[in-house]
Amino acid sequence: MKRIGFIFDMDGVIIDNMRTHEQAWLALFADLGVSINIKEFHDQTAGMKATEVLRYFLGNRFTKAELEQFSAQKEFLYRVLFRKKLKATKGLMTFLKEAQKRHIPMGLATGGGKLNIDFILDGLNIRKYFQSILGANDVKHGKPNPEIYLKSADALDLSPDVCFVFEDALPGIEAARRAGMKVVGIATTHRISFLRKVPSVILAAKNFESLSPKQFLSMAD
């Protein structure tokens, strides 16, 4: 039986926070006088770096420094809004503990920045479960580029084909597919019925309650 590894996206996987991110984005874009299509926002930009999301909707109207300032404002607003709602996705804690007992290497691969990563991992006290933690500052290209997942596999000393990626959104799913990894869809951003139709998703679940690390051990053979 091959050695396997788990790599988790953060937003929409570790925590169900995408609606709060949406609120913060809508507030920022409204302040900038821009109206965005929410479906397009989810389908096209989930998993991207914040500055890439801004560039996608704003084009070249602003400098890189201005985009970074807008990004910081949005992320601060998100943390303020989500602080009282902070809790792990159902079943996650049990899943992480069991995976740790089985000595399965685990990594975090998110488009979020350091402040958001610290906010979630330390707020939930789950940093100890991850041997690799990568965010927006660790890559040149955000999802759907596979860079962050390939770097995660390398950091865990695993080949991509034995890595299971837990993702909620299409750009992240595509990034994992391009990296040559197996994708487990978590239905926070999309419905389970939708995720099951995505060719690269081998399994879809509402949360982690129905999942067990043991069930993945034979899937890498």
Three-state SS at 109: strand
Tokens standing for residue 41: 């926002």
Tokens standing for residue 166: 């837990």
Residue 145 per-residue DSSP state: S
How far from 140 is each of 65, 79, 191, CA to CA, in Å? Answer: 16, 24, 30
Q: Is 11 a catalytic residue?
A: yes
Q: Is 9 a catalytic residue?
A: yes
The phi, psi pair for 104, rounded to 5°, reads -85, 120
How far is 83 from 79, CA to CA, in rounded Å?
A: 6
- How far the first Cα of the chain sits from its last, in Å, is 6
Tokens standing for residue 78: 């998100």
User: Are the CB atoms for 182 and 6 separated by under 8 Å?
Assistant: no
Hunting for tokens 């159902």 — which residue is that? 90
- Give the pairing of strands 182-186 and 201-205: parallel
How far is 6 from 97, CA to CA, in rounded Å?
A: 13
Rg (CA), the chain: 17
Residue of 9, 154, 161, 168 marked catalytic: 9
Residues labelled as active-site residues:
9, 11
